[in-house]
Amino acid sequence: MEKRALQSVLVTVDDQHHDLDLVARALEKAGLVDTDVLRFSGIIGGSVNEAQLAGLREIPGVENVEAQPVFHAS
Amino acid sequence: MPVGKKSSTNPQKDKISVTIVVPPTEVAHGDYLITLAEGGETEAAAFLEEKGGMSSMSSTEELSADQLGMEVLPRPGSGTLFFRLGVAVAKLDANHLARLQDVAQGEKSILAIERAPIFFAASSWDQAFLQGYEAGVKGLIQSLAGLSVQSTAIDEAGGTATWGLNATRVEASRATGRGVRVAILDTGLDLLHPDFAGRSIQSRSFIVDEPVQDGHGHGTHCAGTACGPRKPRQGPRYGIAHEAEIFIGKVLSNSGGSRGRSVELGMEWALANRCDIISMSLGSPVLPNQGPIQAYERIGSRALSAGMMFVAAAGNDSVRRRGLINPVGSPANVPSILAVGALDQQLAVADFSNGGINGNGGDVDIAGPGVGVYSSIPGGYGLKSGTSMATPHIAGLAALHAEITGHRGRALWEALTESAKALPLAPRDVGSGIGQAP
């Protein structure tokens, strides 16, 4: 696959109805790399090739896929 | 002994950049103490004149009482370098300060820019000015003796507590925060600071290759306000929940920014540790009409449902004197995270404090002291301004309410906002008003 800039994303999962680990595995299969599973929050963080971004939203259990910001001391 | 020699025992010394951040407002005008890196004094002198916009920097090889007593800095942009002390004293107006802060980030020869203890805005040689000068000389003597320099603002001179603690009625409260867990997600903590000795502190760094030890100063300042001691080793009281259990999550690097998912991992860590109040003096600017990030709403609402609460800075992107009010930043702009605006000593909205102009939860919920805030910094004490400083005031107050009322989560949110003192200001800017101790 052509190498493009990876986008850091936060995936909000409907973990009341879907197994978080299974969703994480499906996301990885769809191109998400460097994943972190936040169990308390029901969020999966990771990086994805921009071309594969839209595909993540199609995975059952995925509520939102959003770009992750950079924070600074305020 | 040169000031720099004392700090040479500090392993984080070379990582400390500019520890004092005062937004470029009118209140910035005054005398400043600039700490120079050991061995970099000549470099610093050149830097201050060439890049720092200082018009005239005279120098002296040696400090004497006469020189200190005679030292009058008549014009903004002028200053005196004390080579052997490793410090410069400079008169800065808002423009000079803003420029200096801007260019000094990353300049290794400048360790800190702090408001000098002799900054009284007196127009003549009155009693207050002389008292301030005395405090300044004492500070320099302490630094010569190897003690930390104590920056003392006019409000703190002779007072038993900071203006912020007085305005939030902390001194009058019997609450201590005992049994309450407060997390500070920031640049870490000076774990060797004597004011935190003996405290229950759990910590973890989410910044690869950087320990929890605060190499920036911001985190130590915020932790000091929220959880600092009732009786500090020296100077006025500045800490609120002095018996709270402290959780330090280093989610911002020593240069002040997040890395990767450090913030989200820190939020999850604080929740997994059942922290009752989680203070986040950090943010990312948001544009007008830009919606909030749903992931943070998920994290915030899950916290509230489980009896925990996030408190976050509204952000400093506004310049109100020019009519510019920017929206509350992320992640404070979600409905389930308490957004904190900043007030100055006159209880007016701070010039830089963002406003609730975006809706969708992007309101300011409450306000706290955020200008000229005195608290702990690595190795000593210092002043900072920002919604970052208002936020730990509210986190500390929340811990006091949690202890006294037993409330957590949404109930604690309500107890905190309903007990706030209303101000004659727009709720858009200050929410329900200035937080008050129970």
Distance to chain A for B302, nearest Cα, Å: 7
Examine the pLDDT at B142 and tell me if it is beyond 70: no
Three-class secondary structure of residue B58 per DSSP: strand
Distance CA B312, CA B354 (A): 12
B186 noted as active-site residue: yes
Which CATH number belongs to the domain containing residue A31 in this structure?
Answer: 3.30.70.100
Q: Which residue of A has its CA nearest to B316?
A: A74
Distance CA B427, CA B79 (A): 42
State yes or no: ipTM above 0.85: yes
Domains contained in chain A, number: 1
Examine the pLDDT at B367 and tell me if it is beyond 80: yes
Question: Distance from CA of residue B379 to its chain's centroid?
Answer: 15
Residue B59, pLDDT score: 63
Give the pLDDT band (50/70/90) at residue B57.
low
> Is residue A55 one of the residues assigned to a domain?
yes
> Is residue A46 one of the residues assigned to a domain?
yes
Q: Which residue of B has its CA nearest to A9?
A: B261
B376 noted as active-site residue: no
Residue B102, pLDDT score: 75
Top pLDDT among B2 and B423 is at B423
The answer to whether the CB atoms of A73 and B388 lie below 8 A apart is yes
**pTM reported for the whole predicted model:** 0.72
Distance CA B392, CA B407 (A): 19
> Is residue A1 one of the residues assigned to a domain?
no
Chain A contact set for B217 (CB, 8 A): none
Work out the average pLDDT over B400-413: 98
- Active-site residue identified among B96, B218, B401, B407: B218
Give the pLDDT band (50/70/90) at residue B38.
low
In this predicted model, what pLDDT tens digit does every residue of B201-249 receive, in sequence order?
A: 999 999 999 999 999 999 999 999 999 999 999 999 999 999 999 999 9
Domain that holds residue A52: 6-67
> Is residue A74 one of the residues assigned to a domain?
no
Q: Which residues of A touch B (CB under 8 A)?
A: 8, 10-12, 36, 38-43, 45, 63-64, 66, 68-74
Distance CA B223, CA B230 (A): 13
> Is residue A19 one of the residues assigned to a domain?
yes
> Is residue A15 one of the residues assigned to a domain?
yes
- Active-site residue identified among B336, B376, B388, B419: B388
Three-class secondary structure of residue B283 per DSSP: strand
Give the pLDDT band (50/70/90) at residue B90.
confident
Examine the pLDDT at B324 and tell me if it is beyond 80: yes
Give the pLDDT band (50/70/90) at residue B378.
very high
> Is residue A73 one of the residues assigned to a domain?
no
Residue B302 has phi, psi (to 5 degrees) of -65, -35
The answer to whether the CB atoms of B257 and A74 lie below 8 A apart is no
Give the pLDDT band (50/70/90) at residue B92.
confident
> Is residue A34 one of the residues assigned to a domain?
yes
The burial class, CB within 10 Å (0-12 / 13-18 / 19+), for B233 is middle
Residue B31, pLDDT score: 64
